[in-house]
Amino acid sequence: MGSGKSTVAPRLARGLGYDVLDLDQEIVRTTGLSVPAIFELYGEERFRSEEKAQLHLSRERSNVVVSLGGGTIVDPDNLAWCLANGTVVYLRGSAAFLASRLANSKRDRPLLYDDHGKQLTANALRERVGSLLEQRKHMYEQAHIAVDIDASPVSKVARSIRDHIRSTA
């Protein structure tokens, strides 16, 4: 969350001449519900089920950059599928950097609420982001490409990924 996937993916896709598919947007389109509504009405398990279904459907397309949610590859089956069917990119950011971006984000992110349904702020937000990064680190680090994003312009991040993909194609 907050790494810039939804911004980097379209730029990368344009640079490669590919289409772009945002998994969260596809889930919203097919279910007719926002991501927070799915979490609230049906829970995270249902969201992850929808996410997996849309991920597997993405295989029907070629030349596409798929923007995954931060939790998609926490499922070992999803991670293995992604590693086998594409080039996985880890947009690596520090907890402090990601928390500062998330604090200014207008998007509703269910995993960033406290136990009382209030949006986390300041230290609590930084701690939650750090905890999620720590829990997911071993999965994220299996990516084919890792790009450090702290204070890097989106254009530089997208160009770095594009150049790496082209050099290995």
Q: Which residues lie below 8 Å from residue 34, measured CB to CB, with a gap of 6+?
A: 28, 108
pLDDT at site 87: 94
How does pLDDT run across 107-119, given as a tens digit for each residue?
777 667 767 777 7
More confident call, 101 vs 144: 144
CA-nearest of 144, 138, 141 to 164 is 144
Among the ranges given (67-71, 89-93, 142-146, 161-165), the one the predictor scored with the smallest mean pLDDT: 67-71
Q: Which residues pair with 98 in a beta bridge?
A: none
* Tokens representing residue 164 in the block: 């790496």
Query: Could you tell me the residue ranges of all domains in the chain?
Result: 5-168
CB count, 10 Å around CB of 151? 8
Q: Are 82 and 55 in contact (CB under 8 A)?
A: yes
Q: What is the pLDDT of residue 99?
A: 87
Place of tokens 């992850």: 48
Residue 91's SS3 state is: strand
Q: Which of 57, 67, 76, 60 lies closest to 20, judged by CA?
A: 67
User: Of the candidates 57, 56, 36, which has an alpha carbon nearest to the alpha carbon of residue 46?
Assistant: 36
pLDDT digits (tens, 9 = 90+) for 36-51: 899 999 999 999 999 9
- Give the SS3 label for residue 10: helix
Percentages of the chain per state (helix, strand, coil), in multiples of 5: 60, 10, 25
Q: Which CATH number is 5-168 given?
A: 3.40.50.300
- pLDDT tens digit string along 61-103? 999 999 998 889 999 999 999 999 999 999 999 999 988 888 8
| 127 CB-near residues (< 8 Å, 6+ apart) | none
